[in-house]
């Protein structure tokens, strides 16, 4: 039941609350500016989620690619898409939420709950390391900044523990973090390189 908290909360938010002007401005700054690139990203470096979904796809295209029943919720520039049942992730199950801004996929989350959270968290961290390279410690404030765009106030920096981060290419940030003693999230964010704290273009 706890695992449904994030997806249901997002659904309620989109059904009831308009996006703030400040949030809209921040999103315009983050996602309205082309990502600078010194060299083309190789095909092998293109982020692909669940082996088929890519950034900036429309809600309808993601629905067509996912062979599961999905629920839609809309509010202004934001929309979310999520299945009613948990999906398989690694050797676990999780609640999946796709988040779109102006009908372009910009964030994705997996929300987990576990009776053995420490062991399962470490397993997922190792699995992510194997895909995206060794993790770095991540700032909780950065995660809150992203989530505040779609759900203001859902998290505070003090709520988030053991935050770990990965980067993939020039446009993908990945976070793994606890948001309660037995629940944790993987958050994927489509963001320019500057958002990670460093300008990495050309490096």
137 pLDDT higher than 60: yes
52 within a domain of the structure (yes/no): no
Residue 73 is inside which H or E element, if any?
Answer: strand 70-75
| Number of domains comprising the chain | 1
92 within a domain of the structure (yes/no): yes
133 within a domain of the structure (yes/no): yes
Higher pLDDT, 16 or 71: 71
User: Which position has the token pair 């976070």?
Assistant: 175
77 within a domain of the structure (yes/no): yes
203 within a domain of the structure (yes/no): no
Q: What is the pLDDT of residues 173-182, one digit of tens each?
A: 999 999 998 9
Rounded to whole angstroms, the Cα distance separating 120 from 130 reads 15
43 within a domain of the structure (yes/no): no
Structural domain of 65: 2-32+57-196
46 pLDDT higher than 90: no
202 within a domain of the structure (yes/no): no
Q: What is the separation of C-alpha 112 from the centre of its chain, rounded to a whole number of angstroms?
A: 13
CB count within 10 Å of CB 6 equals 22
201 within a domain of the structure (yes/no): no
């Amino acid at each position: 039941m706890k695992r449904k908290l994030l997806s249901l909360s997002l659904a309620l938010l989109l059904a009831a609350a308009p996006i703030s002007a400040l949030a809209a401005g921040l999103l315009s700054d983050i996602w309205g500016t082309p990502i600078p690139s010194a060299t083309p990203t190789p095909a092998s470096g293109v982020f692909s989620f669940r082996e088929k979904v890519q950034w900036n796809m429309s809600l309808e295209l993601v629905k067509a690619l996912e062979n599961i029943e999905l629920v839609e919720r809309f509010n202004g520039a934001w929309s979310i898409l999520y299945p009613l049942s948990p999906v398989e992730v690694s050797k676990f199950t999780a609640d999946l939420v796709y988040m779109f801004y102006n009908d372009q996929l910009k964030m994705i989350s997996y929300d987990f709950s576990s009776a053995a959270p420490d062991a399962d968290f470490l397993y997922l961290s190792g699995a992510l390391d194997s895909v995206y390279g060794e993790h770095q410690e991540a700032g909780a404030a950065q995660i809150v900044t992203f989530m505040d765009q779609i759900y203001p106030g859902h998290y505070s920096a003090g709520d988030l523990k053991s935050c770990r981060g990965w980067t993939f290419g020039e446009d993908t940030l990945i976070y793994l973090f606890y948001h309660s003693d037995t629940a944790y999230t993987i958050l994927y964010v489509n963001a320019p390189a500057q958002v990670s704290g460093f300008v990495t273009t050309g490096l």
